[in-house]
Structure 1
Amino acid sequence: MTLDPQVVRMMELLAKSKLPPLETLQPPAARKALTVRHLRARQAVGKLIPPEPVHAVEDLVIPVYGGEIQIRLYRPEGTGRMPALVFFHGGGFVLGSLQSHDDICRALANFTPCAVISVEYRLAPEYKFPTPLMDAYAAAEWVFANADDLQLDAQRIAVGGDSAGGNLATGVCRLAQERGGFRPCFQLLLYPATHLADETSSKRQFAKGYQLDDTLLHYFHQHYVHTEDEFQNPMVSPLLHAESDLAQLPPAHVLTAECDPLRDEGEAYARKLQRAGVPCTLTRYDGMIHGFLAMGAFLDRAEEGLREVAEVLRTNAFQRSV
């Protein structure tokens, strides 16, 4: 295991931000600190670049159970009904926003090309499980219900996300399977959190010094659930689903990073999908850390990864037979 030199340099820059560890802060302060940390690091490498242009970007407010949330629709150039990815951002269910994953969504919209709908689900601990999951489900349901008005091809709408967002994407697929109202054509799981209580080899090996420390994971997980008993709920820890419950899920792609505490559980989930008969591909990025796709200001392999993901969507999720 060798960290990519650009990862080493990035972590050195982040260490110089002199901000307190996120897990020592209350969630509202942690959200602000994360933004400041990455802004300072970008300034240090001279990469305060404007967002990648997308043909059309629109913010919308949609109804969910017990309230409203914001979504952002990215639409590349093109006419007619296009395929779409409903995307749930990462951040341990506690951090993250439309803005934190704006770069990823713009890149996927342009590289694939497809529409991307980014979902600002309500965060823990203000809104614990199952609210983030139900917000994600309601957003996907809304996109399917409004596909005609949005000029989307309802037969080619995928769901996906990174880290905690990948966890939510698995839950949306299971709920859609159980309720029968809509069916995503594909699930895109980027270094997903699939078992919130499991102790794996990668969690032990990368417990300290790889951005997603064990103390930060604990902070996220404790904020998400009401009691630790909920860690055993398959809607919280999807790796606990019986294979028979996974058998009818949409095809999937799982992407993992070698130096990521969540690597083993993500790869275990991919293997479980495969054993259940679900078409599932798996890619591991050597030398990378958790969240690397959002680190394009520092890492050349972030763009490489996003282009690979776009190719997976284009060929495995959105390609129509002629």
Structure 2
Amino acid sequence: MPDDVHPQIQAIIDRTVELGIPKVQSISTQAARTLVEKMAAARREDYPPPDVLKVENTSTGPGYGHVPVRIYRTTAEERAPVIVFYHGGGHVFGSLETHDTAARFLARTTGCTLVSVDYRMGPEHPFPAAVEDAYDAAHWVADHADALRIDPARLAVCGDSAGGNLAAVVALMARDNAAFAISAQVLIYPVIDYRGGTPTYARYGKGYGILEADTVSWFMERYLPDPELRGDWRATPHNAASHADLPPALILTAECDVLREEGRDYAAQLKAADVSVEHVEFRGMIHGFFGYLGLVDDAERAHEISARFLESVWR
């Protein structure tokens, strides 16, 4: 068993082994989706989602892909700051439900309106379907600022894991298309390059929670079945022609995570392009800890750091 993880994380790993929860890469796509939904539901029973002022399910409508979204309001303010949030799950599983608690907590902690995006996923809808939905959703939020009662000048994109990948890509697309402005990006242990190969794949590739090196390959086969597309910058934001003129970024990484190195590298890449970057690494944490609210103290701390970062950018 790992000896370098935080005791609160070790307890989660031990419980997973005790319950005999299978590795994602050992089961079918549908079985993995069912498993993740059941695990999220069980977690909600132990840690009930926090209340917010209002929750609304809707979609982006014509011209913006008809993407399902869930809007969390924490304030009656007419022009509230807004976070467009993309859930993780390797672009294969995860949903508005699996990330409902995290979305509520982040909305409450930041005082923002939060729009959680239910983008299409592989293998039924491989790359670039998720990218298209992610961009359309952010564009819709910006274009409907008055109706949504949000301030388009305080629009941030945020996501964990695969969602962090989408947030980073949407920030690049918004810069290039100049159709709307993104003021900040919060990337939580983001996928920057599915092809892997960093030292942390060998160090933390097995036995450190839900995401193993083989799990990333399992995701890639479903989201990016065409090997020729795996280096496309919309899948691998590391490969964008330029990272200049991007919005300020907060990048959160977990020490015991196969994705740690690429998160660190992306922070360095943005800094080299003169982008304002704050990088925080959480010692002893594993991939997915951002959602372990009520179980891991650093989960709540990660939400609070995100709130402070956004406040500093918008101030």
TM over 0.5: yes
- Which one of 270, 273, 276 corresponds to residue 270 of structure 2? 273
Match of 1:286 in 2: 283
* Aligned: 1:153 with 2:151: yes
TM-score by structure 2 length?
0.95
* Residues in 2 aligned to 1:75 and 1:66: alpha-carbon distance in whole angstroms: 22
* Aligned: 1:111 with 2:109: yes
| Cα deviation, residue 234, structure 1 | 1.3
Match of 1:221 in 2: 220
Cα-to-partner distance string for 1:21-70 (whole Å, 9 max, x where unaligned): 22222212210012224555x49xxx623210001111112237795321
Contact 1:64 1:139 in 2 (8 A): no
* Residues in 1 aligned to 2:119 and 2:40: alpha-carbon distance in whole angstroms: 22
Give the length in aligned residue pairs. Answer: 312
Helix, strand or coil at the partner of 1:236: coil
* Residues in 2 aligned to 1:48 and 1:89: alpha-carbon distance in whole angstroms: 21
Match of 2:208 in 1: 210
* Aligned: 1:241 with 2:240: yes
Match of 2:304 in 1: 307
Match of 2:254 in 1: 257
- Which one of 136, 139, 148 corresponds to residue 138 of structure 1? 136
Q: Which amino acid in 2 is paired with 1:169?
A: A
* Residues in 2 aligned to 1:161 and 1:85: alpha-carbon distance in whole angstroms: 10
- Superposition RMSD in Å: 1.7
* Residues in 1 aligned to 2:224 and 2:64: alpha-carbon distance in whole angstroms: 19
Cα-to-partner distance string for 1:194-237 (whole Å, 9 max, x where unaligned): 01113011111001001211111110011111311212111111
Match of 1:192 in 2: 190
Write out aligned runs for 1:13-52 (5 A): 13-39=15-41, 42=43, 48-52=46-50
Match of 1:231 in 2: 230
Q: Which amino acid in 1 is paired with 2:303?
A: L
Contact 1:97 1:120 in 2 (8 A): yes
Q: Which runs of 5+ in 2 are unaligned?
A: none
* Residues in 2 aligned to 1:36 and 1:91: alpha-carbon distance in whole angstroms: 14
Q: Which runs of 5+ in 1 are unaligned?
A: none
| Cα deviation, residue 312, structure 1 | 1.0
* Aligned: 1:4 with 2:3: no
Q: Which amino acid in 2 is paired with 1:35?
A: E
* Residues in 2 aligned to 1:290 and 1:17: alpha-carbon distance in whole angstroms: 19
* Residues in 2 aligned to 1:308 and 1:237: alpha-carbon distance in whole angstroms: 26
Helix, strand or coil at the partner of 1:127: coil
Q: Structure 1 residues 59-68 or 14-23, which shifts more? A: 59-68
* Residues in 1 aligned to 2:62 and 2:20: alpha-carbon distance in whole angstroms: 39
Q: Which amino acid in 2 is paired with 1:89?
A: H
Question: What percentage of aligned pairs have identical amino acids?
Answer: 36
Contact 1:14 1:37 in 2 (8 A): no
Q: Which runs of 4+ in 1 moved over 6 A?
A: none
Match of 1:82 in 2: 80
